Amino acid sequence: MARSKPVKVKAVKPARPKARRGGFWAFVARLMGWAIMIGVVVPVVLTVIYKFVPPPGDILMAVRAAQGRGWDYRWRPINKISPAMVEAAVASEDARFCDHHGFDFDAIQKAMEHNEKHPNKIRGASTISQQTAKNVFLWPGRDWVRKGFEAYFTVLIEAIWGKERIMEVYLNVAEMGPGTYGAEAAARRYFKTDAAHLSPDQAARLVAVLPNPIKYKAGTPGKYVRGRAAHIGAAAGTVRRAGLADCVVD
């Protein structure tokens, strides 16, 4: 009887444990990627979109609506807003609007010096570009995180939108009364007209309430608003004669 050949059994090597996918540094990399996406890419995309499309609203509008103040926001292109509104805004809020690139460093320096001497009467130095960036993209407040994003968005809108679009957006989203946003809504609420037919006096009164549109009234102005509007009206004449709004108004 023939002997059977012995069967050779190959030794089975133990399986190596699979390397863990990711780990701490991979998590950090993913986190940084998301941070870059949210903090850098998304703002650029939104800024490009809003160059052509009216913003649907902003955080302040939502907050005011939640407070029961309403939401009256009516977009109008810049050519359907009275030039008097542009001149009044430049006169009151940003006399060097057409010259700077988003930041008025002279005004910032003067504001810092004033605030050191008068800490109880803080003076701001935000340009129309900065105010527009804050209004459209950010939340109300004065924290440093928001100020950092405000500076970034200001650079973006100056580079992507240009002066005319910045002014157009500003005059459409600025709060000019409780739940009332932009020149068109304010013109209809307070003067029963449209933004295209606002007179220099009416435009000055709307701009005069911008520091505190909840407290001050454009339709029934008190002593402060009347005085401020008269000053803005006179300054708007200087803006017109000196061509300080020519980057917006031909």
- Decide if 198 contacts 204 (C-beta within 8 A): no
**Whole-angstrom Cα distance, residue 149 to residue 153?**
6
Say what the pLDDT of residue 1 is: 53
Say what the pLDDT of residue 124 is: 67
Say what the pLDDT of residue 184 is: 98
- pLDDT bin (cut points 50, 70, 90) of residue 125 is confident
CA-based R_g, the chain, Å: 28
Domains, in order of start, for the chain: 42-242 (1.10.3810.10)
**Lowest mean per-residue pLDDT among 58-67, 143-152, 196-205, 221-230:** 143-152
Strand ordering across the sheet containing 180-181 = 72-73, 180-181, 175-177
More confident of the two residues 170 and 106? 170
Partners of residue 180 on adjacent β-strands: 72, 177
Q: Is the pTM of this model over 0.75?
A: yes
- Decide if 173 contacts 132 (C-beta within 8 A): yes
Helices first, then strands: H and E counts in the chain = 11, 3
The token duo for 191 is 């003067």
